[in-house]
Chain A
């Protein structure tokens, strides 16, 4: 029973990070119907930069802020140079490949200059051993902190989208971009902003995962994007609450499968859930039935 609970907790925690990634993906999907396929590299960059900045003597807070600013900027850049031109010239497939390429370039540059070795991630949130006892279970403080931070960010984002004019504007752009233009909404600005925010969220997710895992290496982040995407699809592209639910379900299911069946199957779960959801209910739990089906 203890084993079961520890898996569930670990699953919920890592699932909340998937949800965070998913929410970031939702943002750009809303405004441009595109995603940054190289998002994994962004996460890696953020975690790597933080680790290296700390090693060079910057304070942890400053390192994190600088790293996030960097990746946020990269997000704006990728929209400008990869996505916008691709949408204009090649329609559907171009931006997938272009953003993928962008991510690979970042990965390549990082590997070239910092080597492919894993880099230890500093203990920003508590220490690995810090634990708290909840209901007789030993729960790692790091896990708890990661979970709380993720959920908090998601709630903040949800509030922003539902309660502010900016959020309403984003929803409007998602529904009918031409109408938004004609109504005077600053579409270009909002699109760039959504990419900035999306990358920052991914950057935070990268830092959180690196914290739990303890290390970062250039190949890090790839599976995280996939999991984030699956979480988004499960929940329904465009729903933050859905993303949270989807992420947690994915996280818990993976960990349980990993613990009771095999670790290999753990990775395959994401794919299996994706196929299942797209086959049975393409709009996810909370999405509207407007999914891009063939």
Chain B
């Protein structure tokens, strides 16, 4: 089965096959019946619309039950601009798209702050509002009676730059635009920004830990999604020539959601097939229209449960999020891991009199430590001693109740986790937080997000600067994979790999971010002996590069021969500071772990 999938995937990705299909349609359309051309045009509109769901729901995981609103803004937008203002389509369609994008951007402010059911309700409500506005603002939208006389090829009223367009001309134009759009989205999904959408959805903390701005990322997702939905709506308007509010009800929102889910939320190819299928189906099966609701409902109810990856998952290999040709180019030239060497000054982390209170509980009590550069420091202590809280404070997850944090004499107290990450303080988590369906390589690549600078447009179009930065990042990624000795699984999805590999992947991601200091939360947990010694080697390497290393660990054997210094915390205060050897003999430490009697007999 996998073989068939691989072959199908190769086929649809084959440049020649793609060109043949498009050229074939371009020429063939002259010989098709008018009705067929119309249906295919509808299918193209549907494909465009579905792409907007791919971006917002598939990539960013934000559920929208009101996407018909953006579709509608695009539709009414271009209709009004052409009809009332007499603008040319060449201007009105882009403007309509931008308008829809703006509306989506505005929605992202309240919507980006809520999740799941609240988000679903909010988008549902938003869709309703749009519907009401369309129905009531009669002077603008024609109200319930709708807007007729929208320039349309089928009515013979479509004129661009003096030339009258036929339905076939319209179809051809729409085909080319849709093809460009699909490639844009595909490229976008394989860029640093596309990848960041996934991690923001999967784990906001992980995203922040490598410097990804969560809020802004979500806003971009909404804006782009709105743009595509708006374009789809605009093309729809000029296809039908008449707009009524009934075309923009929640039914349409649900329809596009069904198409996306059946196609496979993560599969562009699957969604294209699904869009075509659902456009053609009502035409072919009269019966379908009668039972349409029921069928849609059943599909919605069971598809996510039974066929999680939809048609895409069935027919094609898992989508990948790195541009294949960039990967091939990057492979030709390897670079050493020397780039990890800290370019700027080695960084010392200092906390002074730092206290953290959660309500009445004092988690960290007036702690002052210096964590020096060129050293590996371990943070140990019994349960609840404050180790994780301290790391959270240093990495900026929350600000301290009192006290200060310094990096080399520069005060950074209270800065956010994203800010700290950009300053080079990178951390890992007790439980590796990765994008489960991404490969090891794709996950590690996330670490480079903040180091690259190309934007979403450059990504989608594939401009040279974007390709250059990706290539470099891929080369660095390769060298890190070599360093961690996980090359044999680098292109497998992390969810299918044993724990040790996931842990290594997260460490790889941290390294990719070009850290000045690395904070590792129980990195040895769950590792086999071999993996542990490899990790120890890696850490010693990093130390020689000048990176400051702080570890939270319980695994004493792992720490022996590795750490330069160990700090023991108990109930939020420092109990001991010194070498591993001295720690084992220290009375205070033994008492903390074993209780008073432990000391008497030790």
**Co-assembled chains A and B:** yes
User: Footprint of B on A, CB under 8 Å?
Assistant: 34-35, 37, 81-82, 85-86, 89-90, 92-94, 96-109, 111-112, 222-223, 226, 229-230, 233, 262-265, 267-268, 270-271, 274-275, 278-279, 282, 291-294
* B263 nearest CB across to chain A (Å): 14
Which residues of chain A come closer than 8 Å to B124, judged between CB atoms? 226
User: Footprint of A on B, CB under 8 Å?
Assistant: 57, 61, 63, 65, 110, 112-118, 120-122, 124-126, 128-129, 132-133, 135-137, 204, 218, 250, 254, 257, 261, 290-302, 304-305, 308
Instruction: Please tell me if the beta carbons of A294 and B204 are within 8 angstroms of each other in the complex.
Output: yes
Instruction: Please tell me if the beta carbons of B114 and A293 are within 8 angstroms of each other in the complex.
Output: yes
Instruction: Please tell me if the beta carbons of B110 and A278 are within 8 angstroms of each other in the complex.
Output: yes
Instruction: Please tell me if the beta carbons of A264 and B125 are within 8 angstroms of each other in the complex.
Output: no
Choose from B116, B126, B136, B300 the contact partner of A104 (Cβ within 8 Å).
B300
Instruction: Please tell me if the beta carbons of A101 and B305 are within 8 angstroms of each other in the complex.
Output: no
Bound-state CA distance A81–B300 (Å) is 13
Instruction: Please tell me if the beta carbons of A98 and B110 are within 8 angstroms of each other in the complex.
Output: no
Contacts known (A85-B305, A108-B293, A279-B110); A101 close to B118, Cβ less than 8 A: no
* A16 nearest CB across to chain B (Å): 21
Bound-state CA distance A93–B56 (Å) is 13
* A118 nearest CB across to chain B (Å): 17
Nearest opposing residue in chain B for A227, CB measure: B125
> Tally of A-B residue pairs with Cβ under 8 A?
142
Bound-state CA distance A219–B308 (Å) is 29
Which residues of chain B come closer than 8 Å to A112, judged between CB atoms? 290-291, 293-294
Instruction: Please tell me if the beta carbons of A292 and B117 are within 8 angstroms of each other in the complex.
Output: yes
Nearest opposing residue in chain B for A278, CB measure: B114
Q: Which 3 pairs between the two chains have the least Cβ-Cβ distance? A: A101-B300, A108-B293, A104-B297
Given contacts A97-B304, A111-B293, A275-B122, 18 further A-B pairs with CB under 8 A are A37-B120, A86-B304, A86-B305, A90-B304, A93-B304, A97-B257, A97-B300, A103-B297, A105-B294, A105-B301, A264-B133, A264-B137, A268-B133, A271-B129, A274-B125, A278-B122, A279-B113, A292-B115
* B195 nearest CB across to chain A (Å): 19
Which residues of chain B come closer than 8 Å to A94, judged between CB atoms? 304-305
Which residues of chain A come closer than 8 Å to B297, judged between CB atoms? 101-108
Q: Chain A binding site: helix, strand, loop or mixed by DSSP? A: helix
Instruction: Please tell me if the beta carbons of B116 and A96 are within 8 angstroms of each other in the complex.
Output: yes
Bound-state CA distance A92–B471 (Å) is 35
Which residues of chain B come closer than 8 Å to A99, judged between CB atoms? 301
* B413 nearest CB across to chain A (Å): 25
Choose from B120, B126, B298 the contact partner of A105 (Cβ within 8 Å).
B298
Which residues of chain B come closer than 8 Å to A279, judged between CB atoms? 110, 113
Bound-state CA distance A93–B115 (Å) is 10
Bound-state CA distance A230–B121 (Å) is 8
Instruction: Please tell me if the beta carbons of B304 and A292 are within 8 angstroms of each other in the complex.
Output: no
Instruction: Please tell me if the beta carbons of B299 and A101 are within 8 angstroms of each other in the complex.
Output: yes
Which residues of chain B come closer than 8 Å to A82, judged between CB atoms? 301, 305
Instruction: Please tell me if the beta carbons of A104 and B132 are within 8 angstroms of each other in the complex.
Output: no
Contacts known (A90-B305, A229-B121); A98 close to B115, Cβ less than 8 A: no
Instruction: Please tell me if the beta carbons of B121 and A293 are within 8 angstroms of each other in the complex.
Output: no
Instruction: Please tell me if the beta carbons of B133 and A223 are within 8 angstroms of each other in the complex.
Output: no
Bound-state CA distance A261–B218 (Å) is 35
Instruction: Please tell me if the beta carbons of A264 and B132 are within 8 angstroms of each other in the complex.
Output: yes
Instruction: Please tell me if the beta carbons of B291 and A226 are within 8 angstroms of each other in the complex.
Output: no
* B208 nearest CB across to chain A (Å): 13
Q: List 11 A-B contacts (CB under 8 A).
A: A89-B305, A92-B115, A93-B304, A96-B116, A102-B297, A103-B297, A107-B297, A267-B132, A275-B125, A292-B114, A294-B204
Bound-state CA distance A34–B120 (Å) is 12
Choose from A37, A81, A86, A109 the contact partner of B294 (Cβ within 8 Å).
A109
Which residues of chain A come closer than 8 Å to B305, judged between CB atoms? 82, 85-86, 89-90, 94, 98
Bound-state CA distance A34–B112 (Å) is 20
* B416 nearest CB across to chain A (Å): 15
Bound-state CA distance A265–B128 (Å) is 11
Bound-state CA distance A108–B120 (Å) is 22
Bound-state CA distance A181–B224 (Å) is 45
Nearest opposing residue in chain B for A93, CB measure: B63
Instruction: Please tell me if the beta carbons of A268 and B112 are within 8 angstroms of each other in the complex.
Output: no
Which residues of chain B come closer than 8 Å to A90, judged between CB atoms? 304-305, 308
